[in-house]
Amino acid sequence: MRYTHLALVVAAAIAAGQAQAEVSLNGFASVKAGTTFGSDDTLYGYTSDVDFKPESLFAIQAQSDLGDKFSVTAQLMAKGSEDFNSKFAWAFLSYQASEHVRINAGRIRVPFYKYSDFLDVGYAYDWARTPRSVYDVPFDTMDGASALISNSFGDWQSSVQLNFGAFNGSVNVEGIKSPSKMQNIMGGSWELSNDWFSTRVAYFKADVSIQSDALDPLLGALNQYGFASVAKEIDFDEDSGSFVGVGFGIDKNDWIVNSEWTRVEIDHSFMAQRDSWFFSVGHRFGAWTPYISHEVNRDKADPTIYAAIPGVHPLRPLVAGLVDGQEDNTKVYNVGFRYDFHPSAAFKAELTNADNTIADQKTTLLTFGVDLVF
């Protein structure tokens, strides 16, 4: 289902809902700037020139109660990284099946992470951005359905979300945006929390297909020289992909602690197994919340992919370069603060140091700006 189709469906549903109930509107925005300290350094879209576009955004969300337990939600967002071209980030129909069960259908967020539902709402967390080393799956929405099951057990609240659907869009392959399909996305998350502690697990799997013009010449050469099995190990053609995540959070006596670990794998592809985690500690002092965090990303390449190619063959260094180039070991340190200068707005500043030990490259980034809701 394409954005345009969803937009028409949601617009029609909202129009119908206006006859029974008003449409409620709310929104959020981030106005952020950043600069790296090295003249040739880049990180998160920033360079040494002060830039407001990479992480600034504006969004409006509309919701209408259609009656008979049905409601509709649509979120229109414009990101600076996309030249502020607006598009529907979410658009879905909800049915409150019972007190504890809600069904959503349409374009919905995939709950990979603890802050998935608030991924773009900077005001919802203390950091300048969610930890990029962990929050790095190249898509965060899907077209499909989900079931949200909520219950209480004494002092504990349980929230289970089950998802099924597909994603059609584009992802980066060797620096080039390539058409991609994630079919048969299945999985879910479970979060258990009490007054000050929460923990969650998530698991998803999908069939991954990516059409990359950057890979076509190499794949053609491998098939021509009789290395079809190697080509199959490199190409993304309905390959089985999986995501697993585990995390916890503590918010007690003005101390805030968060941590998440994830693993992403795509079988029979040149993509390395990706293990990432972060740990963050902050403390509230009235309107001020200083924090520190540490992120680690380790991508483990698989050299057995090109083992069938003889060492003297001219294709071996090309395939080895592609596969081994996925190896990564990056450590990120963040120090920052949040200042709630308004009931609906917060100023944030964060100093980030990223150390890529594989490329022997260190980058320092300063980010500052305002997150707000309205």
What predicted TM-score, i.e. pTM, was given to this entire model?
0.90
Q: Is the pLDDT of residue 249 over 60?
A: yes
Rounded CA separation 214/260 (Å) = 33
Q: What are 110-153's pLDDT values in tens digits? A: 999 999 999 999 999 999 999 999 999 999 999 999 999 999 99
Rounded CA separation 155/195 (Å) = 8
**Radius of gyration, CA atoms only, the chain:** 22
Q: Any idea where the domains of the chain sit in the sequence? A: 3-373
Residue 308 contacts residue 336 (beta carbons within 8 Å): no
Q: What percent of the chain has pLDDT over 90?
A: 89
Q: What are 283-307's pLDDT values in tens digits? A: 999 999 999 999 999 999 999 999 9
Q: Is the pLDDT of residue 222 over 70?
A: yes
Q: What is the mean pLDDT of the chain?
A: 93
- What pLDDT, on a 0 to 100 scale, did the predictor assign at position 20? 55
Q: So what's the architecture of 3-373 in CATH?
A: Beta Barrel (2.40)
DSSP 52: S
- What pLDDT, on a 0 to 100 scale, did the predictor assign at position 172? 82
Q: For residue 209, what are the β-bridge partners?
A: 181
Model confidence at 173, pLDDT cuts 50, 70, 90, reads confident
Instruction: Dig out the tokens for 113 from the structure.
Output: 């992470």
Residue 299 contacts residue 316 (beta carbons within 8 Å): no
- What pLDDT, on a 0 to 100 scale, did the predictor assign at position 213? 84
Q: For residue 178, what are the β-bridge partners?
A: 171
DSSP 123: G
- CA 280, distance to chain mean position in Å, is 18
Rounded CA separation 262/189 (Å) = 13
Q: Is the pLDDT of residue 53 over 80?
A: yes
- What pLDDT, on a 0 to 100 scale, did the predictor assign at position 334? 98
Query: 3-class SS at 9?
Result: helix
